[in-house]
Structure 1
Amino acid sequence: MCRAFRPASPNACRHRARSTPTKERIEREEIAVSKPTDSGPGRRTMLRAAVAVPAVGAATSLLGTEAAGATAAAPASRGHRFDAESPRFALAVLPDTQYLFDADSADPQPLRATFHYLASERAEANIAFMTHLGDVTEHGTEEEIHLAADTFRTIHGKVPYSVLAGNHDISSGTDDQRGDTAYLRAFGPGRFAGMPTFGGASPDGYNSYHVLRAAGRDWLVLALDWRASDKGLAWAQGVLDEHPTLPVVLTTHDIAWAEDSGEAHLSDNGQRLWDRIIRGNDQIFLALGGHYWPPGRTVLTNDAGRDVHVHITNYQDRYYGGGGMIRLYAFDTVRNVVDVQTFSPWFLGKAAQDRTPLEAETVELTGQADRFTLDIDFASRFEGFAPVTPPKPRPAQRVMPRGTVAYWRFDPAGLPAAGRPGAALPAGTVARDLTGNGNDLAVSLLHDSAADVLTWSADHHTQQPAHASLRFGGGKNPDRGAILTTRATAPLNSLKFRAGFTIETFVKLPDPFEGDHAWMGILSWEGRNGDAGKTTGWSTEEPTCSLNVTPERFLQFVLYPDVQDADPTTWSHAIPVGRWTHIAVVNDGRRTIMYVDGSRIARNPSQPATGIETLGKPFVVGGTQFAEAFGQGFYGWIGDTRIVDRALAPADFMLPGE
């Protein structure tokens, strides 16, 4: 409703009236903002999806027909399906629409276009929910409310949503104990009762909450009245107490105002909400409001020492009252980000050549307060109230499928010498092959390395079967490190794997990644490929099979097959530092494919590769020979390592937890 400015208090505002306001109207607006104590990326998927909808006539999207006055059905391939388990979903935020429902100058068409967009693109953008931030109408009259309620039927039953009262929807000098109003009759609990997300409303009917399923977990949207009373806040606290493990998005009409730079500050009402409900409830990580313009944002720290993002979203000052402008918060729980973009589906739905200058200017907003990315480590942010329970260790027998020829893990089951974290593992320490096939590994120290170049660690990949690893301190200048090798008579030394194989391991590179570790080995077989008569490789001094790390931290898997005179080499992308990575190299007897974290990489060779030209020499973890000599050892952590004599599908890798 207001544009914030600084001369007096943060609650002061310039009212953008369409005509000269009456004295009574001025008083009403002043009460609304000065009496809180009266109780109270590149283009992202969603925007691309809008222009990708098949055109009708001259329009470039489904919305073009809506903007022209026609009502078109969504393409059959779209529908309203929503994937609640996908790690990516969107929350749509709709701010003040009051100028679209302003007495006899009302025009609901832009909002209908927005609702058609949300419904038709729900599956494509995985839109979980839409929340309105109040000031649905300009005066809150029966006529305006009725028209708005009728317009909301466009989305009803297609995308779940919440609505809350702004100061223009009710008598602004009242709080949520105001009793019956046209707004309450149209947008009260009765409207949402049949919605699957609806959790309930406060006894007065002006506050509500929804629980929605997205990214494989439940989230709570708490929609509070323009002026929540003490009773309303007590009800809200009760809702939070009843759902103590759910992350919460709090929505209300008036929470913050912003400077022209986009820097936001709590309003008087926002400060009250912060002190009474937000700061003490760690569940609330995002708080959204409208009312003021320009838009803005800030990050506050709650009593638990964690971030709370506070945003203002309001575009009523823009052309055509904002033209049904929406903001999409695209949650990506894999990348741990929320990508935010702001646009008008009504303007977007018109062919570019048909947009007026003001429509073209307003179709998408890209300022720092309109288009941005929030970095939120969801597991860390929510650990105070919804800690992630890590998978339990899996017994060795559960991760040895048919054809497993060797399996090493570094917990006490596989490494009897395992002790306290950081304890050195001296030369001769044995890591058992848990298959019973006799491929035990023994520790050797390279060059003049001290014993602490290899230590035991409890660090591990969260989905690794064993909750332990080995920390290797290898490096160059001078060469140092430690390796684990099979004994001279181990069966693994001579296996040829002509029917295929799967080699898996877990590795983690240190952060910071210090020193020169170019071409360090992770695992290999000893020997020279030249001794096997191989002639086509980079050097006859290379071993017949090795997994290495390049200077750019790419993975390199070099294989000299048993059958072909070739050296098909696989290259990954750069692997990260400070994070565990699962690596799987799979050969089906014809060719080799590498997977990183369960995903197939791009640079897999098409050259035939049947078997491994092993020479009866030891298998090694922690290094790679050249000319039958070891230089540097591995630098980082290595966890569970397994070799199977057939090609496994990704679903059978060691990655899945219990």
Structure 2
Amino acid sequence: MAEPAPQRFTIAVIPDTQNYVDFTHQRAEGFAFDARDLMDQQLQFVADNSVSRGGDIVFATAVGDVWQHPIIDIDPDHAARGFRPRPAPAGAGVAAWADGVRNVEIPAATAAYDRIDGVLPFSVVSGNHDYDGQWWDEQWPQDLTAPPGDLRRLGMIHIGGLTAFTQAFGATSKYFKDRPWYVASHDDGADSAQVFEAGGYRFLHIGLQMAPSDASLKWAETVIHAHPGLPTLITTHDFIDKTGQRRAHPVVDLNALDPFDNSAQGVWDKLISRNPQIFMVLSGHHNGQAFRTDLNRQGGAVYQLLSDYQDRNQTALDTGLAPGRAPGIGDGWLRLMIFDMGGDVPTVRVRTYSTYYGVYASDQAEYARRYKPNEQPQMTDDGFVAADDFVIRLEDFRARFGPGAHEAGR
């Protein structure tokens, strides 16, 4: 990491970690190694390179899917509304998973986050895998006769209940209770807001639960109005896919299943496009990486980034597992958003770094060969590497948010 500088700082983006803590990916279940160790490495890297320890990471945000499996068939709220769960696929079931979630997955996740607790401000949002219940909606039943790889075989997955998530990462959890930078919450902390200072500016960050309801979006708008003029970032689990479209995953299109939920386009229309303080949106969920820029209703740029490396399986292949038997783990890759507010036009260099291999994507000779075929096969090798190492020019940032503390005193 670079030496700290007053106008230069880094935001760490922690992609989906579900495969690291998956209880079936640990030695106790006969796996080749403890995948949870890779998540520990990621969070330790963030801690070691935080401002409080001499680095330049000022904030960390996790895009959701912290753990892997559900703990109940269906949450009480959806059951009361008439939803009914269908059986889980191929003999698996919640009864077989719940102990693994409670005894392995959630403890592994919180043990990793203990490494940054009290070290720097951070946010964790829920992904679809973090909900108490996941079930297959009976209107779109599973088709187990479909060929492998055909997403139709999974039907449509619905989710509900965030009791376990808010116990671990809610407003009253040990991570956020009474922290001065944790400034607001909604729905027991399923939605939350944080502030941090860096580069001469005070920033607002809002974390939104998966497919947020109108109530969540209205709450977020009140938080923005309570912090006028602050450059604002949003993190939510599902926003853009790997083609850069605001389009739901075909298996987890929650807006198609429940009118209480908002699609990514709904979040854009109802919250992001109408609030000019929002300049960046970070998300995961879709395996791969993408970047797009759109103008809000006032003509300001909104930079949207997908960062999700959960299906990368080189660490499993390294143990000697055959390609068809080596599950996705994540290989330690995370995103580092390096802000430089010192030039005439502020910039963000987006880099992708593996805390397991200790290398940036652009410096790993095998990077495109290892990961492009599964993530972005249509790209050239150079284009694939460039998608994980590029610069965003914040052309209108100062016009929208002022000169910043450093420039104002000149």
Deviations 1:436-468 (A, max 9, x none): xxxxxxxxxxxxxxxxxxxxxxxxxx98xxxxx
Cα distance, 1:172 vs structure 2: 4.8
Q: Report SS of the residue matched to 1:313.
A: strand
State the shift of 1:159 in Å: 2.5
User: 1:376: which partner in 2?
Assistant: 394
Q: How many residues align?
A: 299
Counterpart mapping for 1:167-566 below 5 A = 167-170=128-131, 171-172=133-134, 181-191=163-173, 192-259=176-243, 264-268=244-248, 269-319=263-313, 320=315, 321-335=329-343, 336-348=346-358, 367-377=385-395, 380-384=396-400, 386-388=401-403
CA contact (8 A) 1:133 1:163 kept: yes
- Which amino acid letter does the alignment assign opposite residue 333 of structure 1? M
The structure whose residues are more often strand, as a share, is 1
Greater CA radius of gyration, 1 or 2? 1
- How far does the alpha carbon of each residue in 1:214-249 deviate from its partner, in whole angstroms, 9 at most, with x for none? 112210111000121111111111101111210011
Secondary structure of 2:338 counterpart? strand
Which has the higher relative contact order, 1 or 2, with Cα contacts under 8 A spaced 6 or more apart?
2
Q: Distance in 2 between matches of 1:389 and 1:372?
A: 24
Q: Distance in 1 between matches of 2:404 and 2:387?
A: 36
Q: Match for 2:20: what amino acid?
A: L
One-letter identity of the residue aligned with 2:111: D
RMSD: 3.1
Check whether the contact 2:15–2:334 (CA below 8 A) recurs between aligned residues.
yes
Q: Distance in 2 between matches of 1:149 and 1:390?
A: 36
What is the TM-score normalised by the length of structure 2? 0.66
Structure 1 ranges of 4+ moved more than 6 A: 357-360
Does the 8 Å CA contact 1:164/1:253 hold for their aligned counterparts?
Answer: yes
What's the offset of the Cα at 1:132?
A: 0.2
Q: CA deviation at 1:299?
A: 0.8
Match of 2:24 in 1: 104
1:497-544 CA deviation, whole Å, 9 max, x = no partner?
xxxxxxxxxxxxxxxxxxxxxxxxxxxxxxxxxxxxxxxxxxxxxxxx
- Residue in 2 that maps onto 1:423: none
Cα offsets for 1:303-342 (capped at 9, x unmatched)? 0112111111100121242223111000001121101100
2: distance between equivalents of 1:390 and 1:317? 42
How far 1:117 sits from its partner (Å)?
Answer: 1.5
Q: TM-score, normalised by structure 1?
A: 0.42
Structure ranking higher in helix proportion? 2
- Specify whether residues 157 and 267 from structure 1 end up closer, same or farther in structure 2 by C-alpha distance, changes over 3 A only: same
Inter-partner Cα distance in structure 1 for 2:178 and 2:369: 39
Structure 1: how far apart are the matches of 2:340 and 2:405?
A: 20
1:582-597 → structure 2 map (5 Å cutoff):
none
Q: Which one-letter code corresponds to 1:167 in the other structure?
A: N
Alpha-carbon spacing, 1:235–1:115, altered in 2? closer, same or farther (3 Å): same
- Tell me, which stretches of 5 or more residues in structure 1 are unaligned? 1-45, 50-81, 350-354, 392-461, 464-655
Identify if the C-alpha distance between structure 1 residues 103 and 389 changes in structure 2 by more than 3 Å, giving closer, same or farther.
closer
Identify which of 67, 71, 85 aligns with 1:137: 67
Q: AA paired with 2:290?
A: G
Structure 1 pair 180/222, CA: closer, same or farther in 2 (3 Å)? closer
Q: Is the 8 A contact 1:209 1:220 kept in 2?
A: yes
- How many Å separate the matches in 2 of 1:299 and 1:358? 26
User: Quick one: structure 1 residues 149 and 133, their matched pair in 2 at CA, closer, same or farther if it must change by over 3 Å?
Assistant: same
Matched residues in 1 for 2:134 and 2:219: separation? 21
Name the amino acid aligned to 1:381.
Answer: F
**Structure 1 CA distance, aligned partners of 2:170 and 2:292?**
31
Q: Secondary structure at the match of 2:308?
A: coil
- Evaluate the alpha carbon distance shift between residue 168 and residue 219 of structure 1 in structure 2; reply closer, same or farther with a 3 A threshold: same
Equivalent residue, structure 1, for 2:7 = 87
